[in-house]
Amino acid sequence: MDGNYILYKFILASAILLISLLVAMYSTLFERKLAGFFQDRLGPNRAGIFGIFQPLADGLKLFFKEEFMPGSADKFLYILGPSLTMMIALLTSAVIPWGNSIIINGVEYSLQVADINVGVLYVFAILSIGVYGIMIGGWASNNKYALIGAVRAASQMISYELAMSMAIISIVMMSGTLSLSEIVNQQHGFHWNIWYQPLGFLLFLVCAFAECNRSPFDLPECETELIGGYHTEYSSMKLGFYLFAEYINMFISSAMIATLYFGGYNFPFMDDLGLSHNAITMIGTIVFFIKISFFGFVFMWVRWTLPRFRYDQLMRLGWKTLLPLALVNIVITGFVIMLKNHS
Amino acid sequence: MVFSRYLFFILSFVAIYAALKVLISKSPMHSVLYLTLAFFAIAGHYILLNAQFLAVVHIIVYAGAIMVLFIYTVMLLNLNIQGEFPKSKFANIASTIAGGLLLLTLIAIFKSYDLKVIANPALNQIGLVKSLGKVLFEDYFLPFELSSVLFLAAMVGAVMLGKKDIY
């Protein structure tokens, strides 16, 4: 039993890791195809049918590029930067419930690696340490542009983390739990949190863009001002790690949005289909991935539609608009909960 | 149980090694990063004691907020040039003596205090969110609220100090 349990957790963890990497790999192709569509051109279509082998070609290209390290760089930290970014990007997937449970021979196997009772706080913690990789990399390159990019990244992430946490707190108040699996279970069927927390969802979405360093908030790597921002001095696969981690972050953020606001693996009329528990779980997981893909599309859609913010606009939006709105949202949520308990 | 004992020794080793490296490292940036590592090791100890809430909050507050600001300061003040601040011999000796005295006091306190060994940390529920929230909002409600007022005062003070022209 014990050995079985360890084996099952091991298989689940490696499967989720592989799926995250695969999704991130193919979202690069998807993004380039979409960019092509938005700019009225074809996008990559040479490697395989519809350019299906393009991510492999890109990866190989990055591996075979020349490694370059600035002479004045701090060698250990220079290598640690991209590695940390990649590692932290992959950490969050452990607490996301990817599906309900599967029952095999009377034993229930949950499709979540770690159902810890402080799941939401764990996500906060990963968010808050996510900036380390960028800061260490930017500082260790010993380059002005990289340093400015790193400093910008740090202040941007700290500012938007606050509003993001405040937005999630109203969800926590509503569901009365910090466990992500419990939050998803309470959204059974069509009782998704988006109907009760539309403002919270909007705040979370905007902050997710800023936390992933995605356009319109990609100030840390703003090409026109900073060349490449924190990864100016990086080349070869180390650069690849930074770029790749951004796509993993996007995937995980989309999964978090779907989990917190769009019911995770729940879908309407799931009890009326009359299917077995395992079949419902399978369909639920597929539905969850459809939701994730939709939000991944929104990320790319916005990137190729909106221009980049100026830095002071970014800070003003974060501190003077999003944070007060999040606080108002908490007060309203608290008020409604109080009224409900009294009636 | 054996496994968690090994974890305890590994975490303790990491914590002490990182704490020593904070003092020994020449570059301030390395010191700050080793301090972060020490915080992570301590968070691991909290998890071994089944205090998950404390562990995660420890990481959010110390590793996520305070240490990021430390790194920020080190970056902006350009303290990365090694040996830029040579300390006098007197300062070195004085700080060593002061630190030693603090250690001595701490040892004296812990010797007189009867430390209880928690028999089975897995059964200890005080570190979980529910029990902690109940204790904070029922038994220690007034001190908890007072400390939040203290934080608010500190925040307002920081904003006032940061403002250049007070009108």
Span B5-11, average pLDDT: 87
Residue B84 pLDDT:
54
Write out chain B residues lying below 8 Å of A124, CB-based: 56, 60, 64
Residues within 8 A of A (CB atoms), B 27-86 only: 27, 29, 33, 36, 52-53, 56-57, 59-60, 63-65, 68, 71-72, 75-76, 80
Contact B75 A158 (CB under 8 A): no
Instruction: Please indicate whether, in this complex, the C-beta atoms of A128 and B63 are within 8 angstroms of each other.
Output: yes
Chain A contact for B8, CB < 8 A? no
Predicted pLDDT at B123: 61
| Total domains present in chain B | 2
Based on the fold, state whether residues B4 and B67 are members of the same structural domain.
yes
Tell me, yes or no, whether A63 lies in a domain.
no
Residues pairing with A104 in the sheet? A107
Residue A154 lies in a domain: yes
- Looking at the predicted structure, is the pLDDT value of residue B167 above 60? no
Full domain range(s) for residue B2? 1-82
C-alpha closest to that of A220 among A208, A207, A230, A232: A230
- Domain assignment present for residue B148? The answer is yes
The mean per-residue pLDDT over the stretch B66-75 comes to 83
Least CB-CB distance to A122: which of B27, B56, B65? Answer: B56
Q: Would A21 be classed as within a structural domain?
A: no
Q: Note whether B128 and B52 are within 8 A (CB).
A: yes
Distance from CA of B55 to the nearest CA of A (A): 10
The minimum CA-CA distance between A73 and chain B, rounded to whole Å, is 11
Question: Is residue B98 predicted with pLDDT exceeding 90?
Answer: yes
Q: What is the ipTM of this complex?
A: 0.79
Residues of chain B above pLDDT 70, percent = 83
Residues B12 and B69 placed together within one structural domain of the fold: yes
For residue B9, give how far its alpha carbon lies from the nearest alpha carbon of chain A (Å).
23
CA distance A180 to chain B (A): 14
Confidence label for B122 from pLDDT (cuts 50, 70 and 90): low
In a domain, A45, yes or no: no
Residue B149 lies in a domain: yes
pLDDT at residue number B166 = 58
- B152 plus B78 within the same structural domain: no
Task: State which residues form the domain around A268.
Answer: 69-342
Inter-chain CB pairs, A–B, below 8 Å: 60
Going by their DSSP bridges, the two strands A101-104 and A107-110 should be labelled as antiparallel
Across the interface, which of A117, A125, A154 has its CB nearest the CB of B68?
A154
User: Mean pLDDT over residues B144-158, rounded?
Assistant: 91
pLDDT per residue as tens digits for the range A264-311: 787 777 777 777 777 888 888 888 888 888 988 888 888 888 888 888
User: Distance (Å) from the C-alpha of residue A126 to the closest C-alpha of chain B?
Assistant: 8
pLDDT of residue A139: 83
> What pLDDT is attached to residue A57?
85
Contacting residues for A60 by C-beta, under 8 A, at least 6 apart: none
Q: Where are the alpha helices (DSSP H) in chain A?
A: 2-38, 54-64, 75-91, 119-129, 131-140, 144-175, 180-185, 198-211, 223-226, 236-261, 277-303, 311-316, 323-342
Amino acid at B138: E
The pLDDT of residue A81:
85
Nearest residue of B to residue A140, measured between CA atoms = B29
CATH number reported for the structural domain that contains residue B15 in this entry = 1.20.120.1200
Domains in chain A: how many in total? 1
Q: Which of B51, B82, B113 finishes a domain?
A: B82
Of B82, B117, B144, which residue sits at a domain end?
B82
User: Among A135-139, B85-89, B140-144, B146-150, whose mean pLDDT is lowest?
Assistant: B85-89
The model's confidence at residue B16, banded by pLDDT at 50, 70 and 90, is very high
pLDDT at B8: 87
Q: What are phi and psi of A235, to 5 degrees?
A: -140, 175
Chain B residue numbers touching A122 (CB-CB < 8 A): 56
* A58 occurs within a structural domain: no
B137 pLDDT more than 80 = yes
Q: What pLDDT was estimated at residue B152?
A: 92
Q: Which one, of A199, A159, A201, A162, lies nearest residue A309 by Cα?
A: A159
Indicate whether B73 pLDDT > 70: yes
Cβ–Cβ below 8 Å for B68 and A139: no
Rounded to an integer, what distance in angstroms lies between the CA atom of residue B132 and that of residue B142? Answer: 15
Q: Which of A325-334, B59-68, B126-135 has the lowest mean pLDDT?
A: B126-135
Q: Label residue A118 exposed, middle or buried (CB < 10 Å: 0-12, 13-18, 19+).
A: buried
* pLDDT surpassing 90 at residue B165: no
Q: Is A336 exposed, middle or buried (0-12, 13-18, 19+ CB in 10 A)?
A: middle
Find the residue in B nearest to A81 (Cα). Answer: B33
Section B33-56 average pLDDT: 87
Confidence (pLDDT) at B146: 92
